[in-house]
Structure 1
Amino acid sequence: MSYVIGVDGGGTKTTCLFLEADRNEMPEKPMVVTGEGTNPHVIGFQEAGVRLEALIRKGMQQYSIAPSELTGVGLGLAGIGRAEDETEMSRIVGTIFLNLKLSENCNLFVGSDSLAAWRGSLLPNTYEGILVVAGTGSNAIGVNQSGKIHRCGGWGHLLGDEGSGYYLSLKALSSIAKAADGRGPETIITELVLQKLKLEDPRQLVRYIYSRTHEKHEIARLAESVIKASEQKDEVAVKILTEAAEELVLHVETLAVNGFAPTTPVTAAGSIFKHSAIIKEYFIDQIHQRNLGVFTEPYAPPEFGAALLAQIRKEGGVEND
């Protein structure tokens, strides 16, 4: 039996899938192992390599897979978005191949986690599509019929991330400040955010926000309060979510001009789409109304996509941007 490996390497968690070679459907009972995050820009390239090698070795032992049975390795890693990143990571993976005694003919794909997520989101034997991701941050990626990759968003929380959890949280904090001053309408968001942060008065937010540097995810978690408020028909919350959904539609609208047909599959992933019915429903409705594509639910997880990319790369299935 021959296998390919697909890796989804995030900032806090890495998932490694062992897939039968040339299989293009997600197994009902996948062979998976998980480990620590492997974003090389967070932990360093060398440490990312150490963790990846340990995880692959663990999986080979757990599922009794010999080095000679591996024909491909696909790595979709957070933080890998530039050619120099791919080159550096590929060099490190070369050492991993030697340490694990993998064949020099073993196919290798190294790329971004978003590309792996895109590939996994599409139905088997589908090679054109657009994926929009909205979680803590936001971005979109599409590959057209010619195999050309196009990206939109992904500028980070200071320059972009529109429609993301971070974006929703900033809008929430702004609406609280305006309501406290009388510059904006009252909103349930105020009560929900204060409860979440264990504060008693909106003006305590000044000290909370500016007294120390907050991690991106600490701010982004306040998006939950906007979604809860919207479920109670809070007008401010509904407006914030609708504007966020429009930003996410704009990602697709921007990509669609690059040779994508009106029948192109458009998928959406991430916690914001998962937890906000308003955003997801608006997004789907506008995709169809504007003839930007056909919405479909994601087919499989990113690690499956990474495994497929390890297979199709040798066939020239995807041309990097």
Structure 2
Amino acid sequence: MNYVIGIDGGGTKTTCLFMEAGQNKLPAQPKRIIGKGSNPHIIGFEEAGARLVSLIRQGLAKFTIAPHQIVGVGCGLAGVGRQDDEEHMTELLRKKFYSLNFSENCHLFVTSDSMIALKGALPEEAASGMLVIAGTGSNAIAMDKCGKIIRCGGWGHLIGDEGSGYYISLKALSKVSKAADGRGQDTAITSLLLSDLHLEQPAQLISYLYGRPHEKHEIARLARHVIAASEQGDEVAIALLQEAAEELILHAASLYRESSSFTSETPVTAAGSIFQHSAVVKQHFIEQLHKRRLGTYCKAFGPPEFGACLLAK
């Protein structure tokens, strides 16, 4: 039996899926293994390659799959959006695959994490569609009926990532500071945030935030308190999340304008922790998507690693 491997390499974790080459749907009990992040622009291309090879090796052993049974590897990595990055990673992985004893005819496909997410999310019969992603960061990607790939966002947390967890967290911290000063409305976000960070007063946020450098994901995770506050009916939190959804709608609108083949019937799906955990963001996004006739929302067909398997074939 032959297999393909689909890899979703993010900044914080990497998911590796082993799937029978003849399958076109995600198995009920997928052969999946998870390891450390593999964004080459964070840990370096050599280290990213080493982590991927190590994870594949673990999977082969865990699921008792022989190297000669692997006929394709699809790899979607965060930070790999340019052609030179794809070519560099492809060449590096081909060399490292020698240690795995894969066949020289094994198909290798390296692309961005957003591309595999789009491939996995669209319905099997869809000729075109869009995917809007809002997790730690945000971006959007689409494919029109001619097969053209269109991208929007992905500018990073310093000049972009609108609607993401990082964006929501920064906005929330601003709301907390304004409430503490009397410049803004009181919000339940304050108590939830302080409790999580083991702080007693909002003013202590200054030393917490500026006392040492914080990774992007450390700030982004604070968005969960905005989501929790919205579930309590907090007006500030709800308005903030609706604002985030508006930013994500702008991503879809930008994609829509780039191709005449997109219509109000074009399937649009969403991915990422913000869509997954915030009912406010998801509901507002879907409502505005349909109201502005930018497409028709549909649930993701499969996860990114499944899309990577399809590309591996």
Shared fold (TM-score greater than 0.5)? Answer: yes
Change (3 A) 1:185 1:12: closer
Alignment of 1:235-314 (within 5 A): 235-259=235-259, 260-311=262-313
Alignment of 1:1-321 (within 5 A): 1-259=1-259, 260-311=262-313
Give distance in 1, aligned partners of 2:293 and 2:301: 22
Give distance in 2, aligned partners of 1:124 and 1:204: 51
Give distance in 2, aligned partners of 1:304 and 1:42: 24
Range with greater deviation from structure 2 (105-114 or 181-190) = 181-190
AA in 1 matched with 2:268:
V
Q: Is the 8 A contact 2:263 2:293 kept in 1?
A: no
Give distance in 2, aligned partners of 1:61 and 1:167: 40
Deviations 1:251-289 (A, max 9, x none): 101101122232111111111111111111001111111
Q: Is the 8 A contact 1:24 1:125 kept in 2?
A: no
Q: Displacement, 1:144? A: 1.1
Q: Is the 8 A contact 2:134 2:274 kept in 1?
A: yes
Q: Displacement, 1:127? A: 4.0
Partner secondary structure for residue 203 of structure 1: helix
Give distance in 1, aligned partners of 2:33 and 2:4: 14
Partner secondary structure for residue 242 of structure 2: helix
Q: Is the 8 A contact 2:268 2:296 kept in 1?
A: yes
Partner secondary structure for residue 4 of structure 1: strand
Q: Displacement, 1:232? A: 2.1
What TM-score do the two structures reach when normalised by structure 1? Answer: 0.92
Partner secondary structure for residue 192 of structure 1: helix
Partner secondary structure for residue 202 of structure 2: coil
What TM-score do the two structures reach when normalised by structure 2? Answer: 0.94
AA in 1 matched with 2:144:
N
Q: Is the 8 A contact 1:144 1:258 kept in 2?
A: no
Deviations 1:230-255 (A, max 9, x none): 12222211111111110011110110
How many residue pairs get matched? 311
Q: Displacement, 1:72? A: 1.3
Alignment RMSD: 1.5
Give distance in 2, aligned partners of 1:87 and 1:67: 23
Range with greater deviation from structure 2 (52-61 or 298-307) = 52-61
Change (3 A) 1:127 1:107: farther
Q: Displacement, 1:40? A: 1.4
Deviations 1:1-37 (A, max 9, x none): 2221111112232221122224211111212222222
Deviations 1:123-159 (A, max 9, x none): 2233421111111111111111111111111111110
Partner secondary structure for residue 108 of structure 2: strand
Give distance in 1, aligned partners of 2:182 and 2:61: 63
Change (3 A) 1:217 1:97: closer
Range with greater deviation from structure 2 (67-76 or 268-277) = 67-76
Gaps of 5+ in 1: 312-321
Identity of aligned residues (%): 60
Give distance in 2, aligned partners of 1:33 and 1:228: 30
Q: Displacement, 1:99? A: 2.3
Range with greater deviation from structure 2 (140-149 or 197-206) = 197-206
1:314 alignment partner in structure 2:
none
Partner secondary structure for residue 160 of structure 2: coil
Q: Is the 8 A contact 2:6 2:305 kept in 1?
A: yes
Q: Displacement, 1:48? A: 1.6
User: Structure 1 segments of 4 or more deviating over 4 A?
Assistant: none
Q: Displacement, 1:62? A: 3.0
